[in-house]
Structure 1
Amino acid sequence: MALDADLLGLLACPSDDHAPLREDTRDGADVLVCTSCASSFPVDDGIPVLLLDEATPGPNGIGVPAPGPAAGPAADG
């Protein structure tokens, strides 16, 4: 997946924390991962689906910060 760096810089987690997102691949699918809560959001045909109902919650749930660096480093755009 290669989202435009400018677009990725504008996107944020739709939970109340509004943390930045980073690109990743999980189970062979492109996703955007919240850098705070580690919840992941699908990317369908290059279009981010930033709906809480479509998210896979992080280890503590959507919008609840993950422990330590669980969300991983920010992706280099």
Structure 2
Amino acid sequence: MSDAKSLFERRMLEALVCPVTHTTLHYDAERQELVSKSARLAFPIRGGIPIMLVDEARALD
């Protein structure tokens, strides 16, 4: 069951887009972030919930 849940969560994350540029996000499992290369922002995932607020995002170098 955990494999099905993991697949579902992964597909849900892949369906999200950057709130700034509306482009695809890349999931960084190690840092638990969704990364927008075009906006140069990383949105945190806390408790399994993506926080898609620009004020909460980390700027990328």
State if a TM-score over 0.5 links the two structures. Answer: yes
- Give the superposition deviation at 1:23: 0.7
Task: Give runs of ≥4 in structure 1 deviating > 3 Å.
Answer: none
Q: Which has the higher contact order (CA 8 A, sep 6+)?
A: 1
Q: Which residue of 2 aligns with 1:13?
A: 18
Task: Give the CA RMSD over aligned residues.
Answer: 1.9
Q: Percent identity?
A: 35
Unaligned runs of 5+ in 1: 60-77
Q: 2:46 aligns with which of 40, 44, 47?
A: 44
Q: What TM-score, normalized to structure 2?
A: 0.70
> Does the 8 A contact of 2:14 with 2:27 survive in 1?
no
State the partner residue of 2:3. none
TM-score of the superposed pair, with normalisation by structure 1: 0.58
Alignment deviations for residues 9-62 of structure 1 (CA, whole Å, 9 cap, x no partner): 3201111x211111115xx63101013223100000111000000001233xxx
Which sections of structure 2, spanning at least 5 residues, go unmatched? 1-5
State the number of aligned residues. 54
